[in-house]
Structure formats: C-alpha cells, structure tokens
A and B are shown apart, each in its own frame.
Chain A
Amino acid sequence: MAINIKKVDRNVSMTFLERMYIPYMLHGMWVAIRHAAINMLGFFEEILAGKSKRQVMTLFYPEEYPDIPPAYRGKPTLVRRDDGLEACVACGLCEAACPPLCISIIGGERENGERYPVTYTLDGTRCIYCGFCEEVCPKEAIVMSDRFQGLCEYDREKMIYDKESLLVPREKLQKRLDTIRNKYFSEKRYR
C-alpha cells in the first residue's frame, strides 16, 4: 500500500478576493448563519416531532439522561447475591491490582467455611475508575456500575465507601455482568 507525501497548499499568493478581508469573512459568517438556521429549524421540529429531530448537540443534562454505553466504567460496586450475601470471597486480588491502592479488605470465614469480607473499604477519593478490580476479580464480585452522578461529596470521609454502601443487588448490575461475560469469557478473546 502506498504511503505518499502530500504537499500542503500554503496559499502564499492570496487571490485578490482573499486579500480583501470582506468576501471570506462573509463566507465564514454564512457558515455560522447556516448552523443557526438549521438549529432554529431543529427546535421547531423538536416541538412538533420530539427529541430525535433536535439538531443542537447539547443535552439538557439534569432533565435528560445521556445514554451510557455498556462498556462504561462508573462507580465500582460489590455484587449482592440473591441470598442477600456478598459474592466477594475476600481473596484480595483487587486490592493487589489497584494502581492507586484504594481498596483494603479484612477477610473472615463464616461458620460453613465460606470466606467473606468482614470489612471492604474502597477509598472513593483515590479511585481512578480504571477497571482493574473488575478485570482481575475471579468471582465477578466487584463490577463497574454505570453510575456517575453524586460521586463527589463535600468532605472526604463520606467518599470512603464501606461494604454496605458498595453492595448493589445482582439484578441492577446484570447488564454490566453480561458485558464482562462477553469481555473476559468469550472465545473471541482467547481461542
């Protein structure tokens, strides 16, 4: 395949029209006016035919919610199994893999010998949402939800999440769990 060199046109000798400021200023203004006209039209169509017809790119944020793609990495959350307990077995892999070292776990055993995290603190002030914890967890216990609202607080203590505030029932995270199943389990990635 050919990678060839392309000389860039420096437009050294400006045509007479270019040397006169006005013509190309008007051409530039015409572009802006065309955008304005299309957007105004878009507003009227939006009133008649609903949001899809809106030309303007901005979103009315608090009223309208942006559509989040399945791969989105939001707040890390612990999956709560159907019997109400957490899926995490306190193996500490996420604690080891987390670059800014914001996860700290103290593990313990239940009577039936099942390991569980006595305390699981995730420091929200340090978390960089890189998704390593979700990537390394062998039990799919910690998952990046698609929540990005309300993550900042006025004082840092509130941003250090303990186990209870991290737990989210499995149904809510099902979409993300499917993406993980597609990401890390699928043949496409490995065989």
Chain B
Amino acid sequence: MREEDKERGYDFHKASHTETMTINMGPSHPATHGTVKFFLTLDGETIEDIDVEIGYLHRAFEKECEAQKWNGVFPYTDRLDYTASVLNNVGYAMAAEKLIGIEVPERCKYLRTMISEMARMSGHYTNVGAGALELGALTAFIYFIEARELLWDLIESICGARLTHNYVRIGGLTNDLPDGFRENVKRVFAKNRKLWDDFDIMLTKNRIFLDRMRDTGGISQKDAIAWGFTGPCLRAAGVPYDVRRAQPYLMYDRMNFDIPVGSTGDNFDRYLVRMEEIKQSMSIVEQCLEQMPEGPINVDDARWRMPSKDDSSTKMEPLIFHFKQIIEGQSIPAGEAYQAVEGANGELGFYLVSNGGGKPWKCRVRPPSFALTSALPLLVKGSMLADLIPTFDMINLIGGECDR
C-alpha cells in the first residue's frame, strides 16, 4: 500500500476488487530445503507479509547433551552446522577447555586452525553453490560441488568421515595428519582455485546474476547490529567484526589473511564476502601447513585425555582410570564459560555450565543463523517473491544449527 494512497484513504485492493493470496511456502518446497516454512501473503508477486516458521529440524540438542558425557557430545555437535561440522567440534572443545582451564599443545592448535578453515571452505562452497543453483546457474553449482567433493576427500583422509567428522576431543584431537597429506592439499587446492575462477567468471560479472543479487535483501549497519547479525552477513553490511580478528583464538594471530567487508549489506555483498573468504581460508590452510611444528597433539594432563592404549592395556592404574573416565565421564570442575568461535555463518558461541559431574549441566549453542533468520521479514517484505530465494540462500539458514 503506497504511502500516498494511505493519506488519500484509497485502498487499491478494494477499488480494483483484488485480494492478496496467502501461500504456504512450506517445509517441502525446493527453496526451503525442508527445514523452514514461510507463510506468505502475496499481493500479486510482491510479498506483503511473511511469517517465518522454523523448528522442523529441532532434535533437542541440549536435552541430549545433558544426558551425554562430556566427550560423548562431539557426535551431536557434528550435526549442528552440518556443512562445516568440525567448526562446531572446535567451538565445543575450546569452551570445555576454557571451563577446565587447560591449554592444548602448539601442533594441536595449528591442526585445529587448519581443519576449521577447511570446514569453513566446505560451508561456503555449499552455501554459495546452492545460492547459484537456486538462481538457475546449474553448471556453476556443480563446479563448487566438485570443489567441495575434493575438499571432503581431504577431510575424510584426516577424520575418517566426509560430513560428520567427529575429529576433535576435549584436550586434543583423535589423530594426526595421514602421510602424503601435504601433496594432496597442493593438488586439491590447485584444482579448487581453477574451479573458483570458473565460478567467478560465470557469475560475478554476469549481468543477469548481478541484477538478481544486487539491491535485494539489503540491511543497514544499524539494523544488522540490532538484529544480532554476525559473520558474512554482518561483514557484508560493512561492520568488520570477525571473531578471528576481534578476539584471536588458536593460531589466528599468527596467520596473515584479509577479512572481506562489503558496503551495502545486500545479497551481492554477502556473495562476494563468502567468495573472498574461500580464497582466504585456502591461504590460511597453506600457512598452517608450513608453520606446523612437530610434537604431541594432546594435552599432557592425563585427566583430560584418552589414556594411550599401550598404557591402558598394560598397566593397571591407567586401565582403572580409563574405565572410570569412560563410564562416568570426565568430571569437569563446576563453573560456567562462554567461548565464541567464528563459524561459517557467524559467531558460534558455546555456553557450558558444569556442576562438577561427568555430564554437562547445560550446553547452550549460540546459533548464528538463528538471529539472521529472525530478520528475514525485515529483508524481504515489500520485495518480489523471486527475491525471497536469493535472500534466504545468502542468509544460509542451516536447519541443524538454527533449530538445534
């Protein structure tokens, strides 16, 4: 309803006997990947009102964690942001280590930094590729899926699984790099960079893509901060907030990389920020591999790690401690801690409360895409139905992380 119509008290719908159409862009719609439902009232093609309904992938993550031991929570954190599952593992492990007050050795920090960046790349490949797919550019999507496939093979050679990595433990990691890993990384990143350029050539200067992505779903800096935006969507609005730069953790203070920042905060800026971040992550992984020292990957304090098997299968005390630790869980001292990690979609915070027992008293995840999706009506109201698709993609709602 345009403003001037309102002053004159002229109702377009009544005058021309039209009425708005309500549509359930329900959970099983191609663009909503099965995890969210939009209740749209459409005036022709423009969206008059949108009600976002989430919760379709709610699996009671917190209730499960409260019944699970501290180390048993890791497979659940894999399923939060399943496009970049190691980032959740690293976030949870660092929150627990902050609660305990231990510090993991150098090599483990480098490994965690490297695998986090690889997971971030996988998250961005999935998101930007699916964004291009939903606009119709099928070939570009498959190029990024191929890049992700090669990256997943790398991660699989380290963690043992392509999607649910379950690689990090409290106080360290499950295993070290396989041999021949550096050559694989060189080969895969050379191919990925070529695919990145192909994707860039096909889309970034293509006017059709520019018209679809630019000036749609924009948000101002003030609104972005008020709605709790973090990650690529906030940086696209021009606020250079990145947990890796603001409060460096692990080895990020020893890496030199750039934080891409947009200016207007619309979909095209978010797309460009994510594309640039893929390149930066690649350079970080390579820097990690160069600077990585030799040495243990687990903390030296026996209480906070799995005893090595030759101890627990030969000596009596480690075996008793091994049994006690597995059955009762590691008894983390009482207290509470909040640790924020830069996830693929934004600041991924873990707030852990422990009452000294073997099970977490509360394990809260601060989901970045939860705040982003709550602002979706603000981004989309008044624009076309076809603009809802790129906006919803570029916000990158991951059902597992948003609904927990």
The answer to whether A and B touch directly, with their CB atoms under 8 angstroms apart, is yes
Instruction: Show the binding face of A for B, using Cβ within 8 Å.
Output: 1-11, 14, 18-21, 24-25, 27-28, 31-32, 35, 57, 69-73, 91, 93, 96-97, 99, 128-132, 135-136, 138-140, 144, 180, 182-186, 188-191
Find the A residue at minimum CB distance from B204. A11
Q: Which DSSP category, helix, strand, loop or mixed, fits chain A's interface?
A: mixed
Closest Cβ of chain A to B120, distance in Å, is 15
Does residue B310 face the partner (Cβ distance < 8 Å to A)?
A: yes
Pick from B178, B205, B254: contact of A24, CB under 8 Å:
B205
* Contact across chains for B309 and A185 when beta carbons are under 8 A apart: yes
* Contact across chains for A32 and B139 when beta carbons are under 8 A apart: yes
Find the A residue at minimum CB distance from B306. A135
Does residue B220 face the partner (Cβ distance < 8 Å to A)?
A: no
- Chain B residues in 8 Å Cβ range of A135: 174, 306
* Contact across chains for A71 and B175 when beta carbons are under 8 A apart: yes
* Contact across chains for B75 and A99 when beta carbons are under 8 A apart: yes
Closest Cβ of chain A to B111, distance in Å, is 12
* Contact across chains for B262 and A69 when beta carbons are under 8 A apart: no
Instruction: Show the binding face of B for A, using Cβ within 8 Å.
Output: 68, 72, 74-76, 139, 146, 149-150, 153, 156-161, 164, 166, 172, 174-176, 178, 198, 201-208, 210, 214, 236, 240, 244-245, 248, 252-264, 268-269, 272-273, 276, 294-298, 306, 308-310, 312-313, 319, 322-323, 326-327
Kindly name the residue among A7, A138, A139, A183 whose own CB sees the greatest number of chain B CB atoms within 10 A: A138
- Given A3-B255, A3-B259, A190-B296, A132 contacting B72 (CB threshold 8 A): yes
Pick from B68, B172, B253, B261: contact of A6, CB under 8 Å:
B261
- Chain B residues in 8 Å Cβ range of A4: 258-259
* Contact across chains for B259 and A19 when beta carbons are under 8 A apart: no
How many angstroms from the CA of A10 to the CA of B269 in the assembled complex?
7
- Given A3-B245, A71-B157, A8 contacting B261 (CB threshold 8 A): yes
* Contact across chains for A21 and B207 when beta carbons are under 8 A apart: yes
- Chain B residues in 8 Å Cβ range of A7: 261, 263
- Chain B residues in 8 Å Cβ range of A191: 296
Find the B residue at minimum CB distance from A4. B258
